[in-house]
Amino acid sequence: MNSAHELNTLIEALRTLRGETSPKAALATLTRTRGSTFRRPGTRMLVLGDGHVVCELSGGCPQRDIVARAHEVIASALPRLVCYNADSGLDVLMEMGCGGELEVLIEPLVAAHATDFVDAIAQCLDERRCAHMATLFAVDGMVVMPQRVLWDEHDVLHDDIAAPALTRSIVDATAFEAGRRPITLRLPSARGLVDVLVEPIVPPHALVVIGSSAAARALLPLAKALGWQTTLVDHDPVRLQATHLPAGLHAVCATPASLRGALPLDAQSSVVVMTHNLEQDIAYLGALRDASVAYIGALGSRERVARMRNNAGLAGLHVHAPAGLDIGSETPEEIALAIAAEIMAVINTRSGGPLRDNEGAIH
């Protein structure tokens, strides 16, 4: 699936395309994968008629073949479902040594309202709301022009399937089958057996860094490169003004007492406290006690962390301290890398260990 950062890039490109009088483009979407593949279901690539590509899938042989077939779809204005496996003869992944299989939906973007669904996605991302989007792309095994429905926990935000019973069936099946990972379902309907790709729409991860330290300044550009919405917090406005921030990042002057009122924290947020003042760190951590965030971390030596854990005001608060994975970090840049890696492991529910076990087998 595309990251929220990639989704924003696609949305911008699709909106630009919609403004053209005679758009020529195709949207390639991974609908099913098996084994080792370069990306997972829900990942999209936009192929423009002039040869440009937005959000590359792999850069290798599969992508070149997908781009070539996308140009055929643009010319025919008909959707196509392409399977890359040994049975189809398109086993490019096997030739590359990956051994995986995948199915790609390639749809022409020629209709006037073909990209209207991006507005609903953009609204969810802007308002930091979680939602699901379902793409119906085949009926009784035959590819059809994709139709989409997007909904959150309160309402249906976009629906061009125009079949209330089928929409309800998709929503109900998603509640039972799908979580944070995309899944392709085959459901019975009045139209026949329909294939539907269901994927979560999750807002960009938001990182709050508290303290204008050297490690904080190293973490900010790294987080931006990962597509995270990043905010630097300090209680001293002079330090904030003196800190050089990468373009697009925010700075908030807030004390521990005003922190929660100054920042909208949610389940897609992480907070790292690194003021280098133990009492300040403890005060900021205490202000996060009831915050529904994905990750709370703090810098510190063994003795410093022990004093945090023994502080009665932080009892019961789960803090990753010292923050970061054990990669032997010493410099601010190395510490920033270790912290970002641990946050990624937590939000992706991974252990943060090596990709292989002691016997050399790949997980």
Give per-residue pLDDT as tens, 254-268: 999 999 999 989 999
Domains of the chain: 1-113 (no CATH), 116-204 (no CATH), 206-347 (3.40.50.720)
Q: Determine how β-strand 229-234 pairs with β-strand 206-210.
A: parallel
Q: Does the pLDDT of residue 238 top 70, yes or no? A: yes
- Mean pLDDT, the chain, whole residue set: 88
Residue 94 banded pLDDT, cuts 50, 70, 90:
very low
Residue whose tokens read 């050297």: 214
Task: Give me the pLDDT at residue 88, please.
Answer: 58
pLDDT of residue 329: 93
Return the closest-CA partner of residue 232 out of 206, 211, 260, 213. 211
Structure tokens at 238: 């002079």
Q: Give dist(CA 228, CA 220) in Å, integer.
A: 9
Q: What is the mean pLDDT of residues 51-73?
A: 86
CA 31/CA 104 separation, integer angstroms: 6
Read off φ and ψ for residue 92, nearest 5 degrees.
-65, -30
d(CA 36, CA 97): 9
Decide if pLDDT at 362 tops 60. no
Q: Give the pLDDT score at 37.
A: 77
Q: Contact, 232 vs 251, CB < 8 A? A: yes
Q: What is the rounded CA–CA span in Å between residue 202 and residue 269?
A: 12
Helix segments in 19-105, DSSP class H: 61-76, 92-95
Beta strands in 109-163 (DSSP E): 131-139, 142-151, 156-159
pLDDT at 95: 47
Q: Give the contacts of 95 (CB within 8 A, at least 6 positions apart).
A: 61
Per-residue pLDDT, averaged over 36-45, amounts to: 85
Write phi, then psi, for 139 (nearest 5 degrees).
-130, 125
Select the highest-mean-pLDDT range: 30-44, 91-105, 237-251.
30-44
The pLDDT of residue 98: 58
> Given a cut of 50, is residue 290 above it in pLDDT?
yes
The C-alpha atoms of residue 210 and residue 231 are separated, in whole angstroms, by: 8
pLDDT above 80: residue 22: no
CA–CA separation, 292 and 280 (whole Å): 21
Task: Tell me which of 93-102, 103-112, 114-123, 234-243 is least confident.
Answer: 93-102
Q: Which of 264, 342, 265 is nearest to 298 (CA)?
A: 342
Task: Transcribe 243-264 into DSSP letters.
Answer: SPPPTT-EEEE--TTTHHHH--
Q: Which residues contact 178 (CB under 8 A, 6 or more apart)?
A: 132, 198, 199, 200
Of 124, 142, 143, nearest to 132 (Cα)?
124
- Which DSSP state fits 195? E
Q: 17 or 192: whose pLDDT is higher?
A: 192
pLDDT tens digit sequence for 125-154:
999 999 999 999 999 999 999 999 999 988
Say whether pLDDT at 192 is over 50: yes
Residues in Cβ contact with 106 at an 8 Å cutoff, skipping those fewer than 6 apart? 26, 27, 28, 29, 66, 69, 70, 73, 79, 80, 81, 82
pLDDT greater than 80 at residue 83: yes
Contact 125, 201 (CB under 8 A): yes
Query: Can you tell me which residue has the tokens 């202000």?
Result: 287
Query: b/e for 144-158, b at 16 or more Cβ within 10 A?
Result: bebbbbbbbeeebbb
Q: In what order do the strands lie in the sheet with 44-48?
A: 53-54, 44-48, 25-34, 101-108, 80-84
pLDDT band of 314, cuts 50, 70, 90: very high
- With 60 as the cut, is the pLDDT of residue 167 above it? yes
- The mean pLDDT of 57-72, rounded to a whole number, is 83
Is the per-residue pLDDT at 50 higher than 80?
Answer: yes
- Tokens 């990209």 locate to 115
